[in-house]
């Protein structure tokens, strides 16, 4: 199976509360760039789907990672190559000029060249929180979409059983490839992804880490670059961000000394019970 995984870099999500607003613009100065966690999960999913239990050295298929962004975003692509992806594509662009729609249209152009069987994306980037690129891309390609995947079972690598995490439960779809699947948190649980050629061991919870040797080897893996203008003739964004602001601070609360005081406060001060 040939799998394409779009990957975005985001300002450190574990320090999202450190984001500042300077002159109406988001300011992430001092925050580290990290791969969007959901996209890392998509990479892990792609690696698991192409794992060959019989011969772990040879992947059954190919995993291509892609980003749309400046030269520095190659760091995150190299990180994915170090965990096992085969090659990388960077579409050169300035972050400020992009919206999810431009990104989806740029990826479409790459898909038309690469013809992958499956596109695995994170369900949302945790900076913009829009949750859109997978769905937009599926429509632009005329492919089926299966969003918010918590489980994936490959059926002979021609179709996937996808357990979608939806409000109030799990919705299971069978999608015939090629398709776009966006992944949710629990896709990296030990037994969430399986195929006939999966290894017999169970995976550790979460994404795999790169060994030092693999980090060195990743520097030699292929990385090609496209210009955004080569792929998208009209790169105008459809959404214009004007200003940003920080949320109003929550007023400081109090510590109560015991359950009795809590009950009293809830009844007589907050009046919510």
Partner 1 sequence: MSHTLVIAELHEGKVRRSTLSAVTFARGISQPFDILVMGQGAASAAAGVVAFGAQKILVADDVSLANYICERFAPTVAAIGKGYKVIVATASSFGKDLAPRVAAKLSAGYAADLSAVRVEGDKLVYRRPVFAGNAYASCSITTPIHVVTVRQSEFGAAEPSGGASATETVAVQPADAAAARVEFLSLESTKSERPDLGEARVIVSGGRALKEQFAQVLDPLASLLGAAVGASRAACDAGYAAPELQVGQTGRIVAPNLYVAVGISGAIQHLAGMKGSKVIVAINKDPEAPIFQVADYGLVTDLFQAVPALVKGLA
Instruction: Give the footprint of partner 1 on residues 49-88 (CB under 8 A).
Output: none
Residue 35 or 84: which CB sits closer to partner 1? 35
68/228 Cα distance (integer angstroms)? 8
Position among 80, 148, 153, 210 found at the interface with partner 1 (CB under 8 A): 148
Residue 56 or 170: which CB sits closer to partner 1? 170
Cis peptide before 178 (omega within 30 of 0): yes
Sequence length of the chain is 273
180/41 Cα distance (integer angstroms)? 15
Query: Interface with partner 1 includes 19 (CB under 8 A)?
Result: yes
Residue 221 or 244: which CB sits closer to partner 1? 244
Beta carbon of residue 167, minimum distance to partner 1 (angstroms, whole number): 5
Question: Contact region for partner 1 (CB under 8 A) — 76-84, 87-95, 142-150, 207-215?
Answer: 142-150
Residue 110 or 218: which CB sits closer to partner 1? 110
Question: Contact region for partner 1 (CB under 8 A) — 50-58, 71-79, 196-204, 256-264?
Answer: 256-264
Residue 19 or 60: which CB sits closer to partner 1? 19
* Angle between helix 37-49 and 74-83 (nearest 10): 30
Residue 69 or 84: which CB sits closer to partner 1? 69
Question: Contact region for partner 1 (CB under 8 A) — 50-58, 73-81, 84-92, 141-149?
Answer: 141-149
Beta carbon of residue 54, minimum distance to partner 1 (angstroms, whole number): 29
Letters for 93-132 (x = contact with partner 1 by CB under 8 A, - = none) are ------xxx--x------------------xx-xxxxxxx
Residue pair 139/108 in contact by the 8 Å Cβ criterion: no
Residue 71 or 257: which CB sits closer to partner 1? 257
Position among 23, 212, 213, 254 found at the interface with partner 1 (CB under 8 A): 254
144 in the Ramachandran plot: left (φ > 0), alpha (ψ -120 to 50) or beta?
beta
- Residue 181's beta-bridge partner residues? 120, 146
Beta carbon of residue 136, minimum distance to partner 1 (angstroms, whole number): 5
DSSP 270: S
Residue 156 or 168: which CB sits closer to partner 1? 168
- Residue 67's beta-bridge partner residues? 90
CA distances from residue 264 to 135, 250, 252, 258, 260 in whole angstroms, order as listed: 49, 22, 19, 10, 6
Residue pair 25/6 in contact by the 8 Å Cβ criterion: no
136/39 Cα distance (integer angstroms)? 16
Residues 151-210 that bind partner 1 (CB under 8 A): 161, 164-177, 179, 184-186, 189, 205
CA distances from residue 2 to 37, 49, 158 in whole angstroms, order as listed: 22, 10, 11
């Amino acid at each position: 199976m040939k799998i394409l995984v779009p990957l975005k870099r985001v300002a450190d999500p574990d320090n999202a509360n450190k984001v500042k607003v300077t002159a109406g613009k988001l300011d992430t100065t001092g925050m580290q760039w990290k791969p969007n966690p959901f996209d890392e999960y998509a990479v892990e999913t792609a690696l698991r789907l192409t794992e060959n239990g019989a011969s772990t050295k040879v992947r059954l298929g190919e995993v291509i990672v892609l980003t749309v962004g400046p030269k520095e975003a190659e760091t995150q692509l190299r990180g994915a190559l170090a965990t096992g992806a085969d090659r990388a594509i960077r579409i050169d662009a300035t972050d400020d000029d992009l919206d999810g729609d431009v990104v989806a249209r740029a990826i479409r152009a790459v898909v038309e060249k690469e013809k992958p069987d499956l596109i695995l994306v994170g369900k949302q980037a945790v900076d913009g929180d829009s949750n859109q690129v997978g769905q937009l891309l599926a429509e632009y390609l005329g492919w089926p979409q299966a969003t918010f995947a918590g489980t994936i079972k490959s059926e002979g690598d021609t179709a996937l059983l996808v357990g979608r995490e939806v409000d109030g439960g799990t919705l299971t779809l069978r999608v015939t490839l090629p398709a776009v699947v966006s992944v949710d948190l629990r896709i990296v649980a030990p037994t969430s992804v399986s195929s006939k050629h999966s290894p017999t061991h169970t995976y550790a919870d979460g994404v795999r880490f790169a060994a030092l040797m693999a980090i060195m080897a990743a520097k030699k893996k292929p990385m090609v670059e496209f210009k955004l203008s080569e792929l998208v003739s009209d790169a105008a964004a459809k959404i214009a961000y004007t200003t940003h602001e920080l949320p109003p601070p929550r007023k400081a609360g109090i510590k109560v000394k015991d359950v009795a005081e809590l009950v009293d406060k809830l009844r007589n001060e907050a009046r919510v019970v």
